[in-house]
Structure 1
């Protein structure tokens, strides 16, 4: 039976992050805010997509506004919108599905009297209301300066590199900006200017920024991006309400001016992965965005020297027991089915979950090849948890057991600790060597 060594993989990651000439990037996605510790009763700082979907529905249910002469309130219109999304085959549509469908209808509503029972004005007001509620929920601050976001910023600030760190994110919140600014870590997000910072396409495409500035690419927009009257995209210097927030939960865009930042930043991700020996570390990304998946996979196919390591929270598989009249059958559920399929067919895409890893296309459990490793070698927090039963081909226990190990880097909080530990180890080495 094959295994992957978590100690070896953590050493590989450490060596990768210590090479000053290798292009290194991080991809921070929706699951990362869940890793921020909060006071009792206040967790999560920002909900996951399912939680955000529920929140938006609860907030819009309170809306009694009627648009022009429409016979129903925006709350009733939103309920009807969800029903229309369900008709397309989305059984439990999330806020990304709903907003994408809404914007799709907006594309074809121009000049029409009625689209599936919605007027053009009603669709525009629904889109504005949904984005406003998202912005309100995501306009939060980090609870202290010890969060994983701060540890990532500290690591960036304490390394000396010939190539810049690039951070990609699909999140619309300002948590990365808050952490970087609190530690005075310079970064560039594509915007320049003071009064109305505007998107500088040339600086993004040609990478015309000082090397010591981290690149922060917000692929799906941000709660402080907005459209002004002339239809250009600007970044706000405050968080006052705007007529049109630039929030893109999918690749579907309905306005040419909104496409420009999105397409430029997607292209930036593609260019990053096409660099020689580039390494991109994904955290909090579940591979649910097919357009992003295509961008990543196409770049990896074109550049075999690039590597993507996806750190996924929790187990790759979950076992459940089902009882019938005669016996108990144990069934296995794959939690990251799409990620598993992609990694098994792409040797330079690895996924590391709590219980298993897929490396070089090979799926296997975690198990150290030696058991006398010290704490310094195990900075990624790989631990033995328990002995688990071995199942036969029909899902029944054979009576034999094997040792189970966990590799916890899929938790963004543990990744933050890992980066914090790297800073200490590198500083210790410098002091020891007298460099």
Structure 2
């Protein structure tokens, strides 16, 4: 079986992340808030998509045997073979019904029913996500500290999360960033600044692909970002994939998808994915198409836990089947899980071929395990845990600064 040397690839990543002229990006997704250290009774800071969906369902479902509109909506979601355990699927389905409900009812819902349901769901999401980081030593702060190093090219951070944790970390450390909006009271989306890159180079780019709990849409379809997270009668712009193409061109959703595509097509760009499980087909298509068009770009997906696991029947199951399928097709998409990696379309265990020289403290990233079943030593690389990735970036700060000062 093939094997990959973790020391070799960590050194490659460290060297690449130290280059100030190279386009560097991070993609922060739903698994990242789970890595924030919290007291046991308060963990997680923000639940994953499945648990967030369950939380919304628990609050909105009928407390009696009589079904309310939310229960009926979930019945229709299941009937349409959508995923009732994914709040984004529920929202997309609801908004699809709303689009065709004008002047008539659809599947037993009036437009008013659907508008009210959408408002209720988004309110519950916002309530769950309106949280603060517990201290200033979180993985988000460590990422922000690494980003704060002066560079020729700014770092671009993409996220599918609707929370405000990245914004909080940047502001705690006084790191300027641009998210596409300008203004202070009801900030408006500046499409020209995004598409033409009319932004100071020392500002980090923060692209919230799936919207935010402080983005809203007025009745006249105008989008704005507020300093508040209360809707005040306007609708939340959370997971705004339902927007029509003509609207989306002037609004964040398609513009930010385009920005992701544009970044990955930059010469020699590198993007590190964290907390992403490859369950969003639209994003998968965007990433794959850009990597195909630009063989010199590279995406490294840091995957939480092992690449496989045993189910209740002791069968070995792939934990990230979609990611594996994509990585088999593109040699510039790498997967780094705890125990295995797919690099250059080749799948293999992490294995250090010779005794590791710890001259650069790289061993801190690697955990050695002696198997009780055989004498073979196993190696685990846990950068798929966002907290470990944060520690890695924090350790890079001095190294990066030394490299930049040498130039």
| TM superposition score normalised by structure 1 | 0.88
Match of 1:143 in 2: 134
Structure 2 residue runs without a partner (length 5+) = none
Question: Given that residues 248 and 254 in structure 2 are in contact (C-alpha distance below 8 angstroms), is that contact kept between their aligned partners in structure 1?
Answer: no
TM-superposed CA distance for 1:63, in Å, is: 8.4
Q: 2-side partners of 1:123 and 1:39: how far apart? A: 38
- Going from structure 1 to structure 2, the CA distance change for 1:199 and 1:161 (only over 3 Å counts) comes to same
* 1:346 corresponds to 2:320: no
Match of 1:174 in 2: 164
Alignment of 1:358-373 (within 5 A): 358-373=342-357
TM-superposed CA distance for 1:221, in Å, is: 0.4
Could you give the per-residue CA deviations for residues 357-396 of structure 1, whole angstroms, max 9, x where no partner exists?
000000000001222321624166111123275xxxxxxx
Question: Given that residues 166 and 216 in structure 1 are in contact (C-alpha distance below 8 angstroms), is that contact kept between their aligned partners in structure 2?
Answer: yes
Q: Which moved more, 1:196-205 or 1:371-380?
A: 371-380
Question: Which 4+ stretches in 1 moved above 6 angstroms?
Answer: 428-431
SS at match of 2:100: helix
Match of 1:110 in 2: 102
SS at match of 2:290: helix
Match of 2:221 in 1: 231
Match of 1:397 in 2: none
Could you give the per-residue CA deviations for residues 133-182 of structure 1, whole angstroms, max 9, x where no partner exists?
1111101000000000000110111x221111000000000000000001
Q: Which moved more, 1:28-37 or 1:79-88?
A: 79-88
How many residues are paired up?
405
Alignment of 1:158-307 (within 5 A): 159-242=149-232, 243-248=234-239, 251-253=241-243, 257=247, 260-307=251-298
TM-superposed CA distance for 1:254, in Å, is: 5.4
TM-superposed CA distance for 1:196, in Å, is: 1.7
Q: 2-side partners of 1:429 and 1:83: how far apart? A: 58
* 1:414 corresponds to 2:388: yes
Q: Which moved more, 1:135-144 or 1:224-233?
A: 224-233
Could you give the per-residue CA deviations for residues 371-424 of structure 1, whole angstroms, max 9, x where no partner exists?
2321624166111123275xxxxxxxxxx6643211100000000000000013
Alignment of 1:49-60 (within 5 A): 49-60=49-60
Q: Rg: which structure is higher?
A: 1
Q: 2-side partners of 1:382 and 1:366: how far apart? A: 10
Question: Given that residues 148 and 413 in structure 1 are in contact (C-alpha distance below 8 angstroms), is that contact kept between their aligned partners in structure 2?
Answer: yes
TM-superposed CA distance for 1:184, in Å, is: 0.2
Could you give the per-residue CA deviations for residues 5-52 of structure 1, whole angstroms, max 9, x where no partner exists?
111111111011001111000000000000000123000000000110
- Going from structure 1 to structure 2, the CA distance change for 1:63 and 1:188 (only over 3 Å counts) comes to farther
Question: Given that residues 77 and 84 in structure 2 are in contact (C-alpha distance below 8 angstroms), is that contact kept between their aligned partners in structure 1?
Answer: no
Backbone CA RMSD of aligned residues: 2.2
Question: Given that residues 380 and 408 in structure 1 are in contact (C-alpha distance below 8 angstroms), is that contact kept between their aligned partners in structure 2?
Answer: no
SS at match of 2:292: helix
| TM superposition score normalised by structure 2 | 0.94
Could you give the per-residue CA deviations for residues 60-79 of structure 1, whole angstroms, max 9, x where no partner exists?
13689xxxxxxx99x71111
SS at match of 2:267: coil
Question: Given that residues 246 and 258 in structure 1 are in contact (C-alpha distance below 8 angstroms), is that contact kept between their aligned partners in structure 2?
Answer: no
Structure 1 residue runs without a partner (length 5+) = 65-71, 323-329, 390-399
- Going from structure 1 to structure 2, the CA distance change for 1:320 and 1:106 (only over 3 Å counts) comes to closer
Question: Given that residues 104 and 254 in structure 1 are in contact (C-alpha distance below 8 angstroms), is that contact kept between their aligned partners in structure 2?
Answer: no
Alignment of 1:314-333 (within 5 A): 314-320=305-311, 322=313, 331-333=315-317
- Going from structure 1 to structure 2, the CA distance change for 1:233 and 1:405 (only over 3 Å counts) comes to same
TM-superposed CA distance for 1:309, in Å, is: 0.4
Question: Given that residues 312 and 411 in structure 1 are in contact (C-alpha distance below 8 angstroms), is that contact kept between their aligned partners in structure 2?
Answer: yes
Could you give the per-residue CA deviations for residues 206-239 of structure 1, whole angstroms, max 9, x where no partner exists?
0100100000000010000001343211000222
Q: Which of residues 73, 76, 87 in structure 2 aligns to 1:84?
A: 76
Question: Given that residues 6 and 366 in structure 1 are in contact (C-alpha distance below 8 angstroms), is that contact kept between their aligned partners in structure 2?
Answer: yes
- Going from structure 1 to structure 2, the CA distance change for 1:54 and 1:412 (only over 3 Å counts) comes to same
Question: Given that residues 380 and 414 in structure 1 are in contact (C-alpha distance below 8 angstroms), is that contact kept between their aligned partners in structure 2?
Answer: no
